[in-house]
Structure 1
């Protein structure tokens, strides 16, 4: 009788995820978050405080300052792929950090509304260049078979500083003066410039090793290339739909709370991004193994369920649970959509992927907040929030077409 034998062949080792180059990239990620978010809430407060008395709406000056910042950010995101094609991702990342940091020092000499708006435009452009070019560099630095997990870790490295920088900027401004905020927000991105020079160039051997040989989208780089590619555009639109809900959660829900829940706004705004970070990490862990497309439907379902729960603006348990559930779904879509886009793109389109996804993020948040704010004035907050929750599953049509194209 022949003896039965078993194969003991070892599984191939997984590619190393956190490399010295990726750790170096984390420096500019954290610097970008600190430089952008530290003054984000402090500047509108300062603008309103220094506005001419009797000039109209007391919140108008602050809105103009941050409006200029966000508008410039979207413009910069759309221009970034064109600049990267001509100057290189590393140069554009360095230019973004310089534009984000250096103009902030001008506010040490004047905080008039024209100066606040002008520096906001420059800083918005800088932030856009840094996140788009930096995102492309990050994607190229992580192995393709672990890209979802690598992007999730990079997302956490960005999210944690931004989570603390926003309230810290307000506290520092009140405790020590806005000048301290401006010095820190200006110095940190400039100091991070030293780390950019040592990053590998996009297209080098280290970076190109991260690009899958089965990329299905291969064309000239640029934002138009992304808009013409359904394989890239559909995941971006799926995420933009969820980002529209996020814009409502941040902008509209806190002001609509009633009764005992009216004091929950700070907790709500802490629970949602914390849950989103957890959702993003889980999506990175499981997306690489199961397929990033498979997480689109659970992400949409969780986002819609969370928004529906938060429509109960007077119920403390439903609000907290809704913020947590929505955060998990939003975080899952954050990671799965951009991972799926990178998976389908050649390295020449990495900048386009980053720009398209970030533009969907910012544009979705702005459109969602504006649309639901207008609708709430007509039919009430609760009905508007429920309408948004019921509308979100329409994005499933895009998911189905994306899955069909992939197969």
Structure 2
């Protein structure tokens, strides 16, 4: 029994970080499908709806590249506080200034906050926990960010449809600000390891992490497309069910992957089957997305995607931690996650405007399945950092 690592939940700073993540990600999840819907209701088309997510994710990625330097100077706690403020405080402007340009500008500012939050929180998994607990810690972090998405994605849409958009905007303002309370209890920690394994600069980090990075990009692209356009292409009841199923499946399988990963101690080994499952789910949804009477099959297809998405999330992050310092690995993983979401939203919006929903999702599925050889290599290459 002495060989079994202590549960990450026995580590108070880690628990505080998880608590903060719940509130901050709730503010993100509530608005992810609602802002595109709000944009359409203001008279804009599918391209602008997709761009609202794309701009958010683009600014997220820009901020993420600056986070390692920021946390070296000011620490992780300051990054989390600033991130919560930026994602919460500008939200009411969506209702006050509903023009397309103002919505995109507000999304840009909120994305900067999300970039700070995502990198700081996921880096703290490796900074706060011993290496033998990182996979389980990542799985628990998946629960902390998955529960808000499980509830927030369908709830945001349902509240907007039944009670209006303003209540959603209020909730998405308050919840990230409440997250500052547990953040205040975190230590003033800075990166404890910025040059492990001789890695220097973005080029070296990219060279070390690109194999797990590409599968992560592939599934997050599919997720961004689903989260943005399910409320637009499906009926409200079916969309709500699908938006509940995708993050639910992803959250559960990410948690399972964390428990399994700490036992097999082989980062990256689950990427190949998980990516295959996720790609199959996207393809299945593409085949039924425009067929009446197959709503249940569509929900099953996106659930299958969620299963693969959750496992890829966990295994890709652990594989990157094994190859690069925590802050840089967190940047790489989060850039794949968030750039993929933005790419999926923008690309599918453009494809739908010129072709069909089925064609758009088919192309996303093919792109994901094309990365399978890289996922296979990621599970069999020796980590430079381990």
Question: TM-score, normalising length from structure 2?
Answer: 0.82
Q: Which residue of 1 aligns with 2:372?
A: 396
Structure 1: which 5+ residue stretches go unaligned?
A: 1-9, 52-56
Alpha-carbon deviation of 1:163? 2.6
The answer to whether structure 1 residue 34 and structure 2 residue 21 are counterparts is: no
Question: Which of 263, 273, 285 pairs up with 1:298?
Answer: 273
Report matched runs for 1:7-406 at 5 Å: 11-18=2-9, 19-47=11-39, 57=44, 65-105=52-92, 111=98, 115-173=102-160, 178-202=165-189, 217-220=197-200, 223-227=202-206, 230-251=207-228, 264-290=238-264, 291-313=266-288, 314=291, 315-316=294-295, 318-345=297-324, 349-371=325-347, 382=358, 385-386=361-362, 388-406=364-382
How much has 1:188 moved relative to structure 2?
2.7
Deviations 1:219-272 (A, max 9, x none): 34x645422xx2212211121122223334445677667xxx997433333222
Give the 3-state SS of the residue equivalent to 2:89 in structure 1. Answer: helix
Single out whichever of 177-186 and 235-244 deviates more from structure 2. Answer: 177-186
Aligned partners of 1:264, 1:109: CA distance in 2, in Å? Answer: 30
RMSD between aligned alpha carbons?
3.4
**Distance in 2 of aligned mates of 1:268 and 1:217:** 42
Structure 1 stretch displaced more, 71-80 or 366-375: 366-375
Q: Alignment length, in residue pairs?
A: 376
Change (3 A) 1:190 1:389: closer
For residues 312 and 256 of structure 1, do their structure 2 counterparts lie closer, same or farther at Cα, with a shift above 3 Å needed? farther
Tell me by how many angstroms 1:172 deviates: 4.4
Distance in 2 between residues matched to 1:369 and 1:42, nearest whole Å: 13
- The SS at the match of 1:406 is coil
Using the TM superposition, give the Cα deviation of residue 375 of structure 1 relative to its aligned residue in structure 2, in angstroms: 5.9
CA contact (8 A) 1:81 1:223 kept: no
Judging changes above 3 Å, is the alpha-carbon distance between structure 1 residues 332 and 103 closer, same or farther for their aligned structure 2 residues? Answer: same
CA distance 1:281–1:156, change in 2 (3 Å): same
Cα distance in structure 2, aligned partners of 1:106 and 1:377? 28
Q: How far is 1:323 from its partner?
A: 2.1
Shift of 1:159: 1.4
Report what 1:7 is aligned to. Answer: none
Question: CA-to-partner distance for each residue in 1:4-60, whole Å, 9 max, x for gaps?
Answer: xxxxxx643422310221221122101211222334444455555556xxxxx4567
* Higher mean C-alpha displacement, 20-29 vs 185-194: 185-194
Q: Partners of 1:354 and 1:165 in 2: how far apart?
A: 24
- SS of 1:294's partner is coil
Q: Please report how far the alpha carbon of residue 338 of structure 1 lies from its aligned counterpart in structure 2 after TM superposition.
A: 0.5
Relative to structure 2, which stretch is displaced further, 232-241 or 161-170? 161-170
Could you tell which deviates more after superposition, 290-299 or 357-366? 357-366
Q: How far apart, in 1, do the equivalents of 2:233 and 2:173 lie?
A: 35
Contact 2:267 2:318 in 1 (8 A): yes
* TM-score scaled by length of structure 1: 0.78
Query: Which blocks of at least 5 consecutive residues in structure 2 are unaligned?
Result: none
Report which stretch shifted further, 244-253 or 32-41: 244-253
The Cα of 1:129 is off from its aligned counterpart by 0.7
Q: CA deviation at 1:387?
A: 5.2
- 1:258-308 superposed Cα distances (whole Å, 9 cap, x missing partner): xxx997433333222221112111111111112232101111221232233
Give a deviation string over 1:105-151, Cα, whole Å, max 9, x none: 55676555555444332211111111111211233223311211111
Shift of 1:79: 2.2
